[in-house]
A and B are shown apart, each in its own frame.
Chain A
């Protein structure tokens, strides 16, 4: 089977740093992606890791360790607007894009 695990909820205060972890077990692996979804909205792409290491995009960074089947999303200088659900997703093959999404982590940013 294919499965991804994420914490269900995370709470932090404005200005803080938060890390959302994702572990995966999939039959194939062609990269780890992160998506953000606000309540009532559509998922929006945040980042992609195809190789081990850290990718930085503004306040957001994403890390991947393929040997550990593990990745994380790091959000810095948290803002109220960052309150949303965050999903990791694995592309299980590279011919098509058989995507498996994690269950999502609900981030609440408090003032």
Chain B
């Protein structure tokens, strides 16, 4: 158990819908990262927040957005969902912001778009 929690574990929704994924980092961690993992794309970095502010942006679509709240939990919002958005979405956290910090991954949310 990494100490990072993600809800829900599974989500099934239809194309065109909007969903929100939630992540609570490990106690004391200030950075939160979001990743998408699919069979054909591997593990893709989406976005990072550090202490409430956006710190780095990866391959995140404009239909996706995220935020980190004052209590440091984070939400990833996915809208106008397409079949290709079906994937495993991981949240990770680390103490600091920078490549030297180990990232702890949550169990993931499996999103299925039908």
Contacts and interface: CB of A to CB of B under 8 A. Distances in A.
A23 B113 CA distance: 34
B25 interface: no
B33 to A, nearest CB: 7
Interface string A17-33: 00000000000001101
A61 to B, nearest CB: 17
Q: Chain B interface: which size bin?
A: 20 to 34
Contacts of B108: 42
A97 B90 contact: no
Interface residues of A, number: 25
B100 A31 contact: yes
Contacts of A91: 98-99
Judged by DSSP, the binding face of A is: loop
A100 B103 contact: no
Given A42-B90, A97-B48, A50 B43 contact: no
Contacts of A102: 42
Contact of B107 (A42, A100, A103): A42
Given A42-B90, A93-B56, A98 B45 contact: yes
A87 B43 contact: yes
Given A43-B90, A98-B58, A99-B45, A30 B98 contact: yes
A48 interface: yes
A25 B36 CA distance: 21
A15 B80 CA distance: 50
Nearest to A96: B56
Contacts of B31: 97
A41 B37 CA distance: 12
Nearest to B44: A101
A95 B45 contact: no
Contacts of A41: 107
19 contacts: A30-B99, A30-B100, A33-B99, A43-B105, A44-B2, A45-B102, A45-B104, A48-B100, A94-B98, A95-B98, A96-B48, A98-B48, A98-B57, A99-B58, A99-B99, A99-B103, A101-B42, A101-B44, A104-B42
